[in-house]
Chains A and B, each alone.
Chain A
Amino acid sequence: MNWLLVVLGGAVGAPLRYLTDRAVQARHGAGLPYVFPWGTFTVNAAGSLLLGVLTGATVSAPVHALLGTGLCGALTTYSTFSYETLRLAEEGRGFLAGANVLASLLVGLGAVFLGAELAGGF
């Protein structure tokens, strides 16, 4: 049962990341290829916030499988984030690469704590 829920959540989370990334890029300087990767930053922060809410609300195992492991897991990504950081560094944008790592980590952590707080704490 949990397998099916993880698969379902993942099947929704990944396209949601793709569409959100497109929407964010369309607003933030589409056509400028080497700006800060706001799209991935946004989905990682949003997914961390939602997972924080799920953690704080202590949801049942099936709900966590669907929304936590599946949806949030696939909505957020480490692979895209790491390749973006590599490309920024290789393009001589070392500052943006470092800022991407630090900001993603700090905002992701903050989002988890905020979500958990909103839902009643850890």
Chain B
Amino acid sequence: MSTQDPPPHRPSVDPDVDLSVPAQRAETAGSGRWRVLAVIAAGGALGSAARYAASLAWPAAEGGFPWAVFTVNVTGCALIGVLMVLVAERGTVTHPLVRPFLGVGVLGGFTTFSTYAADVSKLLARQEVVTAMGYAAGTAVAALAAVWGAAVLTRAVVDGRRRAS
């Protein structure tokens, strides 16, 4: 763990950026800003490409349940649970570009709220009310369960290994 930049005592709510954390506030100051923005852009490009690949491999039928976006969003939520425990909560990973690249970029680009909202709207416009409601609520419940389960599990593993060592 870096001595200059200990993780905040209470972990942030917003994993993308928290201006109350001095190191994150300083990310866009000076010449380092272009490096941060570049890794976010690279991560966003990778994450978006992976989401696009999933949507091509598993196209949703007209009026059907959008399984590809559902799976992408739930998977991304599980992964951010693991990532933020390691980076922000337990300080296991200390490289300053890991959160911008993997959290803001890759996972932020992989998951999407706009396509989710648009698909729910399209289902409602087609009178597919049950599918629309099931998809809207199902994604929210599964995503929250995924991030919670992944965070709890990762905390247990990290803390267990620390106690053992």
Footprint of B on A, CB under 8 Å?
2-3, 6-15, 17-19, 21-22, 25-26, 30-34, 37, 39-40, 44, 47-48, 50-52, 55, 65, 68-70, 72-88, 91, 101, 104-105, 108-109, 111-113, 116, 122
Majority SS of interface residues in chain A? helix
Question: In the complex, what distance in Å separates the CA atom of A78 from the CA atom of B28?
Answer: 24
In contact, B48 and A10 (Cβ under 8 angstroms): yes
Closest to B9 in A: A33
Contact residues, B27-61 vs A (CB, 8 A): 28, 37, 40-49, 51-52, 55
Q: Does B63 contact A (CB under 8 A)?
A: no
Q: How many residues of B contact A (CB 8 A)?
A: 65
Query: Which residue from A12, A25, A91, A112 sits with its C-beta under 8 Å from B17?
Result: A25
In contact, B47 and A112 (Cβ under 8 angstroms): no
Report the minimal beta-carbon distance from A45 to chain B, rounded to whole angstroms.
9
In contact, A105 and B140 (Cβ under 8 angstroms): yes
- Residues on B with C-beta less than 8 A from A85 are 144, 147
- Residues on B with C-beta less than 8 A from A12 are 41, 44
**A11-B42, A85-B144, A105-B140 known; A72 and B80 CB under 8 Å?**
no
- Residues on B with C-beta less than 8 A from A21 are 14, 16-17
0 or 1 for each of B114-152: is its CB under 8 Å from A? (1 = yes)? 111110111011000000000010011001101110010
